Amino acid sequence: MSTSGAKFKAGDRVQVRLEDRRGHIRTPWYIRGKTGWVERIHGEFLNPESLGHGGDGLPKKVLYLVAFQQGDVWQRYDVKRDKLLVDIFEHWLEPAN
Partner 1 sequence: MMRGHHDIGGLPGAGPIDQSQHELSDWEILADAINQALGAKGIRRTDELRRVREEMESGAYHDMSYYERWIASMETILIEKKILTRDEIDRKLAEFEKKWGEP
Partner 2 sequence: MRVDHSVDQSNDAHGHEHPKHELSAVARRVYAIRELLLEKGLLTEHDIRCQIEYQEARSPANGAKIVARAWIDPAYKARLIADPKAACLELGIDATSINEFVVLENTEKVRHMVVCTLCSCYPRPILGRPPDWYKSFNYRQRSVNDPRGVMREFGLIPPDDVEVRVHDSTADIRYLVLPVRPQGTEHLSATELEKLVTRDSMIGVMNALPAVPKIA
CA 79 to chain centre: 23
Q: Which does 10 bind (CB under 5 to 8 A by kind): partner 2, partner 1, none?
A: none
Question: With binding defined as CB under 8 A, does residue 77 bind partner 1?
Answer: no
Distance in Å, CB of 6 to partner 2, minimum = 15
Cis peptide bond N-terminal to 59, omega within 30: yes
Among 24, 43, 72, 85, binds partner 1 (CB under 8 A): 24
Question: With binding defined as CB under 8 A, does residue 19 bind partner 2?
Answer: no
Site residues, partner 2 (CB under 8 A):
26-28, 30-31, 42-43, 45, 48, 63, 65, 67, 70, 73-74, 77, 79, 81-89
